[in-house]
A and B are shown apart, each in its own frame.
Chain A
Amino acid sequence: KAGVTQTPRYLIKTRGQQVTLSCSPISGHRSVSWYQQTPGQGLQFLFEYFSETQRNKGNFPGRFSGRQFSNSRSEMNVSTLELGDSALYLCASSLAPGLAGVDTQYFGPGTRLTVL
């Protein structure tokens, strides 16, 4: 079974631009979560989508948004990029949102975003 795929793998943007990242979950997985990883802040949860609906959201500004399509593929968008948005953006899929906690997260390779 193919793993989680993310495109693009690397991206360079300038301040003020916007960016869209894509994630294809493992076949059969319906929950997709997005994370931001930076050396300073570690691994932080952005949001989770299940059945095309945002179920949970982390503490990030409204410039960060996402969506999920009917085939469970997900995109996240960052508008008006800032230097501090430079990070590794990871997508993770799971069968479904955990009922009593967190379902096992299967991570993709990530998209390395650099904002100049």
Chain B
Amino acid sequence: GQQVMQIPQYQHVQEGEDFTTYCNSSTTLSNIQWYKQRPGGHPVFLIQLVKSGEVKKQKRLTFQFGEAKKNSSLHITATQTTDVGTYFCAGPSSASKIIFGSGTRLSIRP
């Protein structure tokens, strides 16, 4: 069945270092969304990418959608303690409404 994998599963960085999480789908996606979930919180929508090769920026966050629309990445420049949380990608699913990636948990050393 359709799968959406994220790597790495965990990332522990020093504050100020960069961070990247990768999302890979087994099928082509019409669009991809990214969510952030703080510890003890709920997922919060960050962004949606629709076009092949699309790149969007939100302050220190850069989101990319692959040319084949099967992969995506989220890059955070100069991490801050407020970036702590789990980052999920999500896309439309043929079997259900939506499928979420496994998530990448980011922790930061002050």
A residues touching B (Cβ–Cβ < 8 Å)? 33, 42-45, 48, 55-59, 90, 92, 97-98, 100-102, 104-110
Contacts and interface: CB of A to CB of B under 8 A. Distances in A.
Contact of B43 (A44, A59, A90, A100): A90
B92 A107 contact: no
Interface of B: 29-31, 33, 35, 41-45, 48, 50, 88, 90-93, 95-103
Contacts, number: 63
Contacts of B41: 109
Given A43-B43, A101-B29, 11 more contacts: A33-B98, A42-B102, A45-B93, A45-B97, A57-B96, A58-B96, A90-B42, A92-B43, A102-B90, A102-B92, A107-B44
Nearest to B100: A43
A56 B96 contact: yes
Nearest to A41: B102
Contact of A102 (B31, B44, B88): B31
Nearest to A110: B42
Contacts of A101: 29-31, 50, 91-92
A59 B96 contact: yes
Contacts of A42: 100-103
B20 to A, nearest CB: 20
Contacts of B91: 101-102
Q: Select the residue from B42, B96, B100 with max chain A CB neighbours within 10 A.
A: B42
Contacts of A90: 42-43
